[in-house]
Amino acid sequence: MKKILMIGTGGTIASEVTQDGLAPELTSQQLLEHIPAISEICEVECIQLMNLDSTNITPNHWRLMARCLRDHYAAYDGFVITHGTDTMAYTAAALSYLVQGSPKPIILTGAQRPIGFDSTDSKINLTDSFRCATEDLPGVSIVFNNKVILGTRARKTHSKSFQAFSSINYPLLGVLRDGCLMRYIRQDCGAAPIFYDLLDTKVSLLKLIPGTDGELLNYVLQRSDAVIIESFGVGGLPSYEGTDFYSSVCAAMEQGKTVVLTTQVQNEGSDLLVYNVGHSLKERLGVLEAYDMTTEAVVAKLMWILGQTRDRREIERMFYMPVAHDILWRA
């Protein structure tokens, strides 16, 4: 019987009702007590790393999770991390960069309703996750609502319903039916994982709206080492009266800042060369382009890259280097 480490971080799955709303209260061991049948699937040991609403998860917590995985990696066959759903996709992406090429499963899961509720998705999600943790399912993935989603491709697309997560611009790794994993795609892995610890957390995200004040971009650029701009459609920057987004980006890049253009559109990705509003950014300034990457993956990847290097050419090389199938398409 395989030996799995369950790492608790909090979230709705571990929450109880308080007078101020749901709050994480239960430990990993207490969660397991609700599902005794898991003992028939695998042997489980627990670590309670933290007990937070995932709104309060920060990059420092990602490092703690990665360090926990590194410290216990040799002793277990797989790992299940319970986590709140709101920022789970960010954590899954971050762990995909901090723990690369893992031949062992690293599964994130959670729930839309607490495990103590009569109507809850907690029990099936946890049970499915432990089943996946005992399979040949390398790398980081999210197991939720009978779906297995690659860690770099997940996004929370429903705020309340059980089908909380979708796989963006990439197929599902598999599905679970009647307790059995039907795997469609197998992730690449190495003989042993490569662990990283350094992250540059001075990465910001600016979502454009019609009429965005150019000074807002200047402010964010001043306070950040890298800025991701979520633009419209296939991507570009506005040039209406009173603003000069192009010059702001140009000045920031001359100062050694990293700028990435991505799109607010969930599917199919960016293509800056299509329209005039994006063409010069790509051809003249050489801004980085996210293409089919999720915003969650771009955030985590930039933090990882800038934690390793500040050389502009190396940043570009690493950004476009696929990690866990995070980017597939380039013009």
CATH number of the CATH domain containing 27: 3.40.50.1170
Asked if residue 331 is part of any domain, the answer here is no
Q: What is the pLDDT of residue 128?
A: 97
My answer on whether 21 and 137 are in the same domain is yes
Asked if residue 26 is part of any domain, the answer here is yes
My answer on whether 217 and 311 are in the same domain is yes
Please say whether the beta carbons of 24 and 10 come within 8 A.
yes
Return the CATH number at 255: 3.40.50.40
My answer on whether 168 and 55 are in the same domain is yes
- Whether the full predicted model's pTM is greater than 0.85, yes or no, is yes
My answer on whether 125 and 216 are in the same domain is no
In percent, the amount of the chain with pLDDT more than 90 equals: 85
20 marked ligand binding residue: no
5: nearest Cα among 89, 84, 99, 74? 74
Domain boundary among 169, 195, 221: 195
pLDDT (mean) for 259-281? 91
Residue 172 in 3-state DSSP? coil
In percent, the amount of the chain with pLDDT more than 70 equals: 99
Catalytic annotation present for 309:
no
Domain boundary among 195, 226, 250: 195
Burial of 305 (C-beta count, 10 Å sphere; 0-12/13-18/19+):
buried
Output 191 or 302, whichever has higher pLDDT: 302
Place 166 in a pLDDT band, splitting at 50, 70 and 90: very high
309 marked ligand binding residue: no
Give the Cα separation of 215 and 222 in Å (integer): 10
71 marked ligand binding residue: no
My answer on whether 115 and 131 are in the same domain is yes
**Residue numbers of the domain that contains 95:** 3-195
Q: What is the pLDDT of residue 296?
A: 98
Q: What is the pLDDT of residues 71-122, one digit of tens each?
A: 999 999 999 999 999 999 999 999 999 999 999 999 999 999 999 898 999 9
* 59, 63, 65, 67 alpha-carbon torsion, rounded to 10°: 180
Catalytic annotation present for 85:
yes
- pLDDT surpassing 70 at residue 331: no
- How big, in percent rounded to 5, are the helix, strand and coil portions of the chain? 35, 25, 40
Output 134 or 280, whichever has higher pLDDT: 134
Domain count, the chain: 2
Q: Please pick, among 9, 82, 85, 152, the residue that the annotation labels catalytic.
A: 85
**Cα 305-74-43 angle, rounded to 5 deg:** 120
pLDDT (mean) for 274-302? 92
Domain boundary among 195, 219, 248: 195
pLDDT (mean) for 252-271? 95
Q: Please pick, among 9, 12, 91, 295, the residue that the annotation labels catalytic.
A: 12
Place 16 in a pLDDT band, splitting at 50, 70 and 90: confident
Asked if residue 326 is part of any domain, the answer here is no
Place 22 in a pLDDT band, splitting at 50, 70 and 90: confident
Q: Which of 136-145, 199-208, 231-240 has the lowest mean pLDDT?
A: 231-240
My answer on whether 187 and 220 are in the same domain is no
Q: What is the pLDDT of residue 330?
A: 62
